[in-house]
Chain A
């Protein structure tokens, strides 16, 4: 046999091999396998499961597979299965799934809460309140009404509780009446009462040793609230019934009626968002109100004439540079995106998740998701529309709601319970919210955004505590394709 004739022979062999192997590989990639009891080909489905934390065992109909999460289980015959994931030291999770031929069911980022959920006390003794500064890792707590009893909690530090003012402060004994915060800022503004008079103090909560700045002389009357931009905290807006004063706390300047004739006001990224008395929605610079920009591009009339209630004041929550959500005093939810009005009453708060362009909305009983999408318009460019979908409705008195794990989960405080809800995907039914633990007061609950640390006052003892809902390193991500593999059934058992 010469090399040449061997080459010709092998060429034919390989050509035949290709025409056999190529269709076989393609059929396999489509999920076709030999039937369990016959030679007939059947198309199977795939189940992809990932958990937080990873490394959980996967059970299908009570039978354990060799892979641990994240795991892709291939070759599942179409039908109903009960999938259970369990990990030592964590609560197990279970639900029925329907596997269809050629399709993959993805259940990503299942949060397996630690079992038991052991909280660490952050300070000794009973406390009366706890407040997390929104979208920060800073937690305030107070054991009494006086300013000297208000301090910052530090998880894991030797001295967990640090008073915000030192013993020498003249305001140490003043009663704290109001604490004003804005998202993503560690500055707080306090209204305290001392010697029968109101004082307004500005503090940096992350630096407790810094003496508070008394800005009382710059405040006219009794503002309803204070607003500022986290990047320019020295510029305060004191918000009144129908106007706002601007106060420069560094230069100690007062700009009366900086914003006039308004029914709602919000601040974001150096801009002020104003809902005027005649229902125009404007944006202007925090230091220059002379050149406002209208935020109503399309269909102004529909927005201004049909959706506002006369005489109402609005909380203005700027979501992005062009998008604003508004909540009136009855809890009606509006936004400057068609169809403008989304809930008639009862909305207690909203939280925007920029990475997913999604707003978390809650009332006392329900939790909803406000999503934005561009839809084809009859003419011109696609129109931006929003839709509110209620994803949970079993609440009794939901007080606080938080995004957790980059929006994969919602943590909420309902009366004295903290529950965790998996954010349902589009077109997917919601799962029941899982009970996490009981707390002393729903209002005294906070979830730090970065690591999903839950802070609360312990039920009964009212001690400030912190607990990690998942290990710090575990953050939900999209399915890591490289980690998928076939699963092998190893043994029967229960999770």
Chain B
């Protein structure tokens, strides 16, 4: 489909449709919140029954998500000891036309590792069955784009250091430091020094200065990354590197890839038969500064990791988030990241999905990349930073009108797929903005403001009991999260103490309050801005070391 993925410079009916669709998520969220509040106050009997119906749905959904969280966590665990380079060798053997190597005698492998091994065998068999020409792992080149605006040198260099000590040869990694021209001179100078320092340790380190005020662009990470990708394309073309052998990763500046990340990425790239129509999504964890961060910010970010873990169990509907990777050829063909939106991470998925008529998907990788938890110089500043960061994430709702507009004209995308993705986009946005407020505030209204006539009904007495039982069931989910979050804690530089683990697990008790103020309200804020057509600018989360 030829479609311009942008909300700017639209005319006529397209502009009207865009404006109309921008209203939908916010209007729906506000209608639910105001409607249920009004019903709870004016018709508490009906309000209680509606809330019961919602709570049953919520608890079942929570149980369902918890099941998959546990499964996904086990899946992540199962790959912890994987030797990805050995797998690459085996993949190369298959792609060279040979049979899959014999099953390795691994009597000491645990249950989870055996499961992972089984998955690997299945992937090789699929690859062999597909008959698709597959490059050798040694031919794959990685391009890592790191957009920089104000991040201190230490933050960038921590990520580069991690890449150089990884299991994947650094001489097949090209790093593009994408520096904003409008950044402070000190930032530009530091970037030059970093490039010089690391140039010899990678195949190359490109320092690309993104000019300010390019027409059609907004001040956003996507525009910077796109400019860097275009310059990198020229670089690769000049050196005769085929784009279909290049895997591009767009990392946030604070991203620290695990040692195995690029080996695992190469493996997933090679074993995915339609590798040029796929993005590769690692599990983001927020471990860089986990012990320095505030408890409430930590809980939220661990929750984000868990959400991505759950999503990873459903590749059919997985969407890229934060640091991600994809074929450079697909990036070029889809015309790079959106340059006038904030949510470039999910935006690039939708762009390519629409470009390839729905023939595009995300492959979950059960390896992690680590990032920073949002922080500030004071409690209030941290709260503000966390709020802004979550609002920016929630601003991903800007994709809704853009995607739906495309879906209305993209006849090449199967209707079922369009409906499923469209519903998911809307449902997720509305749930994000309304659930915390429904659970934390509105569900109490029928009882708190009960009229005399309502207190004379059975529902007035049964509603709190049912609610207490459902909340009690839901708290089991919190306990699961607490346990898993402890198990997910980084063991380096040293394993966390018992006290740290206990503290970390108990922080989940903050979730009901944090959920309302630092998740639900920022999301509602973002949707309201979109509804009022007041588009947000890109706000860079301050990073510290």
| A positions within 8 Å CB-CB of B | 3-4, 6-7, 10-11, 14, 17-18, 21-22, 25-26, 28-31, 43-46, 48, 72, 74, 102-106, 479, 481-482, 484-486
Q: Contact string, B34-67, partner A, CB cutoff 8 A, digits 1/0?
A: 0000000000000011001100110011011001
**A10 in contact with B67 given A29-B463, A29-B466 (CB within 8 Å):** yes
Instruction: Please tell me if the beta carbons of A21 and B461 are within 8 angstroms of each other in the complex.
Output: no
Q: How far is the CA of A105 from the CA of B56 in the complex (A)?
A: 27
Q: How far is the CA of A28 from the CA of B314 in the complex (A)?
A: 35
Question: Cβ of B48: which chain A residues have Cβ within 8 Å of it?
Answer: 29
Instruction: Please tell me if the beta carbons of B458 and A103 are within 8 angstroms of each other in the complex.
Output: yes
Instruction: Please tell me if the beta carbons of B458 and A25 are within 8 angstroms of each other in the complex.
Output: no
Q: Which of A3, A14, A18 has the most CB of B within 10 A?
A: A3
Question: Cβ of B53: which chain A residues have Cβ within 8 Å of it?
Answer: 22, 25-26
The 8 Å CB contact of B57, one of A6, A18, A43, A46, is A18
**A21 in contact with B462 given A104-B456, A106-B455 (CB within 8 Å):** no
How many residues of B sit at the interface, in one of the four size bands?
Answer: 20 to 34
Question: Cβ of A481: which chain B residues have Cβ within 8 Å of it?
Answer: 447, 460-461, 464
Q: How far is the CA of A37 from the CA of B439 in the complex (A)?
A: 38
Judge whether B459 is part of the interface by a CB distance below 8 angstroms: yes
Instruction: Please tell me if the beta carbons of B60 and A17 are within 8 angstroms of each other in the complex.
Output: yes
Judge whether B465 is part of the interface by a CB distance below 8 angstroms: yes
From B310, which residue of chain A is reached at the shortest CB distance? A7
- Measured CB to CB, the closest approach of chain A to B124, in angstroms, equals 16
Judge whether B133 is part of the interface by a CB distance below 8 angstroms: no
Question: Cβ of B462: which chain A residues have Cβ within 8 Å of it?
Answer: 28-31, 46, 74
The 8 Å CB contact of A22, one of B57, B67, B71, B447, is B57
**A14 in contact with B455 given A21-B56, A48-B461 (CB within 8 Å):** no
Instruction: Please tell me if the beta carbons of B315 and A4 are within 8 angstroms of each other in the complex.
Output: yes
Q: How far is the CA of A6 from the CA of B75 in the complex (A)?
A: 14
From B59, which residue of chain A is reached at the shortest CB distance? A21
**A26 in contact with B49 given A479-B455, A481-B464 (CB within 8 Å):** yes
CB pairs A–B below 8 angstroms (21 shown) = A6-B71, A14-B61, A14-B63, A18-B56, A21-B56, A22-B53, A22-B56, A25-B52, A26-B53, A28-B466, A29-B52, A29-B463, A30-B459, A45-B458, A46-B461, A72-B461, A74-B458, A102-B457, A105-B456, A481-B460, A481-B464
Q: How far is the CA of A30 from the CA of B56 in the complex (A)?
A: 15
Q: Which of A4, A29, A43, A46 has the most CB of B within 10 A?
A: A29
Instruction: Please tell me if the beta carbons of B457 and A484 are within 8 angstroms of each other in the complex.
Output: no
Q: Which of B56, B57, B63 has the most CB of A within 10 A?
A: B56
Question: Cβ of A31: which chain B residues have Cβ within 8 Å of it?
Answer: 458-459, 462
Question: Cβ of B64: which chain A residues have Cβ within 8 Å of it?
Answer: 10-11, 14
Q: How far is the CA of A31 from the CA of B465 in the complex (A)?
A: 12
Instruction: Please tell me if the beta carbons of A104 and B461 are within 8 angstroms of each other in the complex.
Output: yes
Q: How far is the CA of A11 from the CA of B463 in the complex (A)?
A: 27
**A7 in contact with B68 given A28-B462, A72-B461, A104-B461 (CB within 8 Å):** yes
Q: How far is the CA of A45 from the CA of B460 in the complex (A)?
A: 11
Question: Cβ of B292: which chain A residues have Cβ within 8 Å of it?
Answer: none
Beyond contacts A106-B455, A485-B465: 12 other A-B pairs, Cβ-Cβ < 8 A, are A3-B75, A4-B313, A4-B316, A17-B60, A21-B60, A29-B466, A104-B455, A104-B457, A105-B456, A484-B461, A484-B464, A484-B465
- Measured CB to CB, the closest approach of chain B to A379, in angstroms, equals 26
Instruction: Please tell me if the beta carbons of B460 and A104 are within 8 angstroms of each other in the complex.
Output: yes
Question: Cβ of A11: which chain B residues have Cβ within 8 Å of it?
Answer: 64
Question: Cβ of B60: which chain A residues have Cβ within 8 Å of it?
Answer: 14, 17-18, 21
Q: How far is the CA of A481 from the CA of B61 in the complex (A)?
A: 27
Question: Cβ of A28: which chain B residues have Cβ within 8 Å of it?
Answer: 462, 466
Instruction: Please tell me if the beta carbons of A25 and B68 are within 8 angstroms of each other in the complex.
Output: no
Q: How far is the CA of A109 from the CA of B37 in the complex (A)?
A: 31
- Measured CB to CB, the closest approach of chain A to B10, in angstroms, equals 37
From B55, which residue of chain A is reached at the shortest CB distance? A25
Question: Cβ of A45: which chain B residues have Cβ within 8 Å of it?
Answer: 458
- Measured CB to CB, the closest approach of chain B to A23, in angstroms, equals 9
- Measured CB to CB, the closest approach of chain B to A36, in angstroms, equals 17
Q: Contact string, B435-472, partner A, CB cutoff 8 A, digits 1/0?
A: 00000000000010000000111111111111000000
Q: How far is the CA of A106 from the CA of B314 in the complex (A)?
A: 51
- Measured CB to CB, the closest approach of chain B to A94, in angstroms, equals 22
The 8 Å CB contact of A30, one of B68, B75, B314, B458, is B458
Give me the 4 closest cross-chain CB pairs, A-B, nearest first.
A31-B458, A29-B462, A72-B461, A3-B313
Question: Cβ of B68: which chain A residues have Cβ within 8 Å of it?
Answer: 3, 7, 10
**A103 in contact with B456 given A7-B313, A11-B64, A18-B60 (CB within 8 Å):** yes
Question: Cβ of B463: which chain A residues have Cβ within 8 Å of it?
Answer: 29
Question: Cβ of B314: which chain A residues have Cβ within 8 Å of it?
Answer: 4, 7
- Measured CB to CB, the closest approach of chain A to B47, in angstroms, equals 12
Question: Cβ of A17: which chain B residues have Cβ within 8 Å of it?
Answer: 60
Q: How far is the CA of A14 from the CA of B59 in the complex (A)?
A: 11
Question: Cβ of B447: which chain A residues have Cβ within 8 Å of it?
Answer: 481
